[in-house]
Amino acid sequence: MNITIPEVVHYITWLATEREEVLSPIRLVKFLYLTDLYYARKNEGKTLTGWPWRFVHYGPFCKEALSAIEDTLDRQIITSISYESRFDDEPHFLYKCESDEEPAIATALPLYVIGPLQEAIREWASGIHRIWSCR
């Protein structure tokens, strides 16, 4: 299986965008973790990314995930929307996919990853777009 990490980021973002959702960096990282988890369950613990996941305050995290998101943005595979938070002066971003076309990775990922990932995005991606659309 020849799957690249930017393709995985693209697919996750595309799935959320199809549901008219945008993803925060924290949620996108969590969906990347879940992709690894679903893959590892059927592959003797081996993850798709090979990243060293750790659990911090808000859940799974690794710096490689943030680097992958940045790489995917740099390649213009996904886009970011900046917004101002009322809590601080730091820049904040939400991610979406501009393309309506289903990414090719959808046929390369195993069904045991795609099914639970789609369900997770259906359940947990919601909410941010409502905040965004109210502005």
Report pLDDT digits (tens) over 48-96. 999 999 999 879 999 999 999 999 999 999 999 998 888 888 889 999 9
Expressed as residue numbers, the domain containing 98 is 5-133
Give the burial string for 101-125 (b: 16+ CB within 10 Å, else e): eebebeebbeeebbeebeebbeeeb
How far CA 57 is from CA of 35, 54, 61, 66, 117, in Å, comes to 20, 10, 9, 16, 23
Give the number of domains in the chain.
1
Q: Which residues of 1-135 form beta strands (DSSP E)?
A: 54-56, 59-61, 79-84, 91-96
Q: What is the pLDDT of residues 89-127, one digit of tens each?
A: 888 999 999 999 999 999 999 999 999 999 999 999 976
Interatomic CA distance for residues 128 and 46, integer angstroms: 32
- CA quadruple 133, 57, 91, 96: dihedral positive or negative? negative
CATH of the domain at 30: 1.10.10
Q: Are 35 and 117 in contact (CB under 8 A)?
A: yes
CA nearest neighbour of 72 among 93, 89, 90, 56: 93
Mean of pLDDT values over 10-36: 96
Residue 102 per-residue DSSP state: P
